[in-house]
Amino acid sequence: MSSTTPVYDDVNFRNQFPAFENTTLFPPAQLEAWWTMGTAYINIDNQYPWNFKTKQLQLAIDLMCAHLAASFTLINNGIPSVIVTGTTEGTVQVSMEPPPTTTAFGWWLATTPYGSQLRALLRVVANVGFYVPRFNTSPGYW
């Protein structure tokens, strides 16, 4: 493993994300497990389609860990990870905001502030391919 390969650093993680500073609610082993789970979503080998710099890759996996920790905390507390815009009590009716993105992954990331920040970072580092404009090949165009 090279020195540029990201690893879970509990002190650094808790400094970045103070919401997880309580070691009783968020034991180091649990956060490290979520961090490791995050590598299933973000490849630490830094291969296509991502083009991370070393610090960006570390931040991406740390953000994924924070997103997973926040998501599991909501789920464990019985709180849906959706945006509720209205409720009714008689005959129970709930209105929810539709996903703010067109993909399930993007919507899932949008359910926590950490996921939203990660989504922005992923958009910055994604290889989006090349655009080759169509040139006019008629005589005298150039």
Residue 47 pLDDT > 70, yes or no?
no
Q: How many CB atoms lie within 10 A of CB 106?
A: 16
What pLDDT score was predicted for residue 2?
43
Helices 28-38 and 54-76 pack at an angle, to 10 degrees, of: 120
What residues form DSSP beta bridges with 96?
84
Long-range contacts at 23-29 (CB < 8 A, ≥ 24 apart): 26/69
81-104 pLDDT per residue, tens: 666 566 667 777 666 666 566 777
What pLDDT score was predicted for residue 142?
44
Q: What is the reported pTM? A: 0.74
What's the CA gap between 103 and 56, in Å, rounded?
A: 23
